Each structure stands twice: as structure tokens, then as C-alpha cells.
């Protein structure tokens, strides 16, 4: 377990980075984000996450390092998929290009706050009830099934809350922020169980989530055009979620003392295997998507 000092230093540094990012977004709230700016900050945040994971054994453990990278990759991939929905929402609500980055950053900060509440709750449940992994695993498998069934032309539909706010004459900026907040809450219900299927350490869960969310605003503008070509991303993520869901259910059986069913041993999936499956799934999904689409982003028929 990480010390209180480690927690305080980590939270302090991450908070400082988020505050700087927020200040930049406010100062540039009336300016469109360039591709160069998006690429620079995306590379910066990815590099920061890799550096953090590389030095993590100095204050955690080597197993914690593997757990962090597995968790960060999974959460980052889920975040990229979430950008699809963000683009649809902001386009549907006709949010000005110059205003989008501030809406996105506020939405991401809200997501961090939501997960800051859900992560301790998840950790408390897991520490007291090993059987909760059955519930988490089943939920991830169901989520994987719905993702696999998702069609590329499925449209985002306004919820009652958004429609009500519109009827009351609330500003588009506020409505967009509420829509992103509600969407992020739903996404958090998927991502939190997913990472707990890879690690039970609240410190690793928290840092992997924050690093996956930091820089998401810049990634949105960088991938806005490319996302149309990642046609198999949802399928790849559904496989990853299903894999983690099955892994959690197998761990749940071991947790309640059942190591075999009908004489068949229930295998234990190592973190190395989990990390390999996640990386391979993302690489295959990306390559297959880019290969199956034309330069203009349309599907090859």
C-alpha cells in the first residue's frame, strides 16, 4: 500500500497540472485549437503517463507498474471511444468551435470528480465482498455485448434533462456541459469495473484514470477527423471488456474458494497476459480500421 505522503504528493502534482490546463483553456476560450497545439499536448500527456509508469516502482512495486500500464491503456482506449459521443453531442448542440475546448475541459474535470467518488466505493465493496466481482464481471460482459451490437450510424438522442433545459432557454454552453456530465457518468459505470478487473489498488486505479483523462480535450481536436476511420474501435473495446469481465468472474470463484468446476480447474489470468491481450486488441483494431477505410475516411465496400 502507498503511504499517505505518496498520495498527497501525487494528488498535489496532478491537481497542479489540471489547474494549469484549465487556466490555458480559459485564456484560449475564444480561440480555435490548432492541430499542432493538439498534437503537442497529446504527446506531452502520453509521455507524462509513460514516465509516471516507468518511475512508479520507486514508490510502489513492479507489479503496480504493470497494473498501471494495463489500466491506463484500457481507460485511455475507452476514453477515445467516448470522444465519438462527445463529437456527436457538441455537433448536435452546435457548440462554437472556439467554446468547445472549455466545455470539454470542464466536462473532464467533472468526470474526474465523479470517479473520485466511485473509486473509493468500488474499493470498499471489493475489500468487503469478494463476490462483487461476479456482478462487475457480468456487467462488463453485458457492456461488451451492447458495444458489439452498436451500429456505426447510431445517433445520439437528447435525454429529457437536455430537452427540458433547452425549453427553459438555458445557454447552449451550460446544456453541453450537462450533457457531457451525464454521458461521463454513464461511461464511468463501465470504466471503473473494468480497471478493478486489472488491479485492486486504489492508488493505481486513481492514477490510471486521471492520466487517461488528462489531455483528452486536446486528443478530441487531434482525432476529430481520424475517428471516422476507426470503424472497428467499438468491436475491439467490446472484446477487451468481455475479456476483463470473464477474468473478474474467474477471480470471483477463486475469491470464494472455488478453484474448479466439474473437475475443470479455473485458470488464473496473469497481469502479463492481460496486458498482452489489451495491447494486441488495440493494435489489431486500429490497423484493421485504417486498412478497411479510404483516405477520405469512408468505408471500403
Q: Phi and psi (nearest 5°) for 299?
A: -75, 140
pTM of the complete model beyond 0.85: no
pLDDT at 55: 92
Tell me the average pLDDT across 94-113. 76
How many domains does the structure of the chain reveal? 1
Task: Identify whether 298 is part of a domain.
Answer: no
Task: Identify whether 28 is part of a domain.
Answer: yes
Task: Identify whether 296 is part of a domain.
Answer: no
Quote the mean pLDDT of the chain: 79
Task: Identify whether 257 is part of a domain.
Answer: yes
Q: Tell me how far apart the alpha carbons of residues 87 and 84 are, in angstroms, rounded to a whole number.
A: 5
Q: Is the pLDDT of residue 295 over 60?
A: no
Residue range 153-212, pLDDT digits in tens: 555 556 676 677 777 778 887 888 777 777 777 777 777 888 888 888 889 988 998 888
CB 165, CB 179: distance < 8 Å: no
Q: List the domain range (segments joined by +) for residue 193.
A: 4-291
Residue range 39-82, pLDDT digits in tens: 888 888 899 999 999 999 888 777 888 899 988 988 888 877 67
Task: Identify whether 260 is part of a domain.
Answer: yes
Q: Among 92, 91, 86, which Cα is nearest to 158's?
A: 92
**Beta carbons within 8 Å of 196's beta carbon, 6+ residues apart:** 122, 123, 126, 136, 205, 248
- Packing angle, helices 132-149 and 97-128, rounded to 10: 150
pLDDT at 50: 93
Task: Identify whether 259 is part of a domain.
Answer: yes
Task: Identify whether 301 is part of a domain.
Answer: no
Task: Identify whether 102 is part of a domain.
Answer: yes
- Packing angle, helices 97-128 and 4-27, rounded to 10: 160
Residue range 233-266, pLDDT digits in tens: 788 888 888 888 898 888 888 877 888 888 888 8
Q: Is the pLDDT of residue 117 over 70?
A: yes
Amino acid at each position: 500500500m502507498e503511504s499517505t505522503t505518496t498520495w498527497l504528493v501525487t494528488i498535489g502534482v496532478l491537481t497542479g497540472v489540471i489547474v494549469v490546463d484549465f487556466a490555458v483553456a480559459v485564456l484560449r476560450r475564444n480561440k480555435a485549437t490548432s492541430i499542432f497545439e493538439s498534437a503537442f499536448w497529446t504527446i506531452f500527456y502520453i509521455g507524462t503517463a509513460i514516465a509516471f509508469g516507468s518511475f512508479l516502482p520507486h514508490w510502489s512495486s513492479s507489479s503496480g507498474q504493470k497494473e498501471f500500464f494495463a489500466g491506463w491503456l484500457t481507460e485511455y482506449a475507452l476514453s477515445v471511444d467516448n470522444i465519438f459521443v462527445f463529437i456527436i453531442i457538441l455537433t448536435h448542440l452546435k457548440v462554437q468551435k472556439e467554446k468547445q475546448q472549455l466545455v470539454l475541459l470542464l466536462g473532464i474535470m467533472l468526470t474526474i470528480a465523479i470517479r473520485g467518488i466511485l473509486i473509493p466505493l468500488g474499493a470498499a465493496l471489493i475489500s468487503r465482498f469478494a463476490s462483487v466481482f461476479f456482478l462487475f464481471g457480468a456487467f462488463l460482459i453485458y457492456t461488451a455485448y451492447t458495444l458489439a451490437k452498436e451500429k456505426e450510424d447510431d445517433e445520439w438522442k437528447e435525454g429529457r434533462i437536455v430537452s427540458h433545459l433547452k425549453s427553459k432557454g438555458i445557454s447552449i454552453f451550460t446544456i453541453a456541459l450537462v450533457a457531457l456530465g451525464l454521458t461521463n457518468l454513464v461511461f464511468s459505470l463501465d470504466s471503473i469495473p473494468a480497471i478493478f478487473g486489472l488491479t485492486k489498488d486504489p492508488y493505481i486505479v486513481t492514477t490510471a484514470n486521471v492520466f487517461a483523462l488528462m489531455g483528452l480535450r486536446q486528443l478530441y481536436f487531434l482525432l476529430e477527423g481520424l475517428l471516422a476511420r476507426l470503424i472497428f474501435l467499438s468491436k475491439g473495446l467490446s472484446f477487451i471488456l468481455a475479456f476483463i469481465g470473464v477474468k473478474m468472474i474467474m477471480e470471483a470463484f477463486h475469491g470464494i474458494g472455488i478453484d474448479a468446476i466439474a473437475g475443470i480447474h479455473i485458470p488464473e489470468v496473469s497481469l502479463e497476459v492481460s496486458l498482452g491481450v489489451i495491447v494486441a486488441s488495440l493494435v489489431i483494431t486500429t490497423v484493421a480500421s485504417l486498412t478497411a477505410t479510404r483516405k477520405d475516411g469512408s468505408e471500403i465496400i
